[in-house]
Structure 1
């Protein structure tokens, strides 16, 4: 909608949405690449961490980065002109896998309700949306 309250022309809408998609796509690609670099560097470095720090960093920082990366990948796939639902669901699967793999020791059942992040609920919404679009 234009600031005058009038709807945007179809051409202008297409240009604005296209620009938005391009910008979001670039931001997400850069973010995912940086997350990959950080995760790779931590993987190389974690052998040098003492056991207490390693447990904390693996169960917190690394897990959170993997969840964030999965969410970013999901948004990237959904923000395309033609959303790629299978890739978006796969990205959420990566986030769920990170959550599941981190639940060891004192962190068992930490994500059991998935209430804060809501990955399982988002996955269900994606499945419903994809079904409606089919």
Structure 2
């Protein structure tokens, strides 16, 4: 079974994303910020990561840079999820190592499409 780590400081977003990803066949874990997510990845690297941009403690971009520098950290497919939609944010996310980018709010169709685009579709 494919694994996905949802990293978002919003419990509501994590709950919605979890429901969608479980329906898509993923085993799901959650983290409320980037530092917790990094610990979880170091313990067990997921296949995919749905990553919020703006979080306390460690932002999505900070997490992504740290993840990509870790051994094995280049393997997970990372979809950055945010309300930021200007091109400079998208460029920064891709430069930091994001594989895809999705805008909030999202729905099942959008997430399914993005996970298929990065090679983690059903």
TM-score, length basis structure 2: 0.27
Q: Determine which structure has the larger helix proportion and give its number.
A: 1
Q: Greater share of strand residues, 1 or 2?
A: 2
Pair member with larger Rg: 1
* TM-score for both structures, normalised by structure 1: 0.25
Q: Which has the higher contact order (CA 8 A, sep 6+)?
A: 2
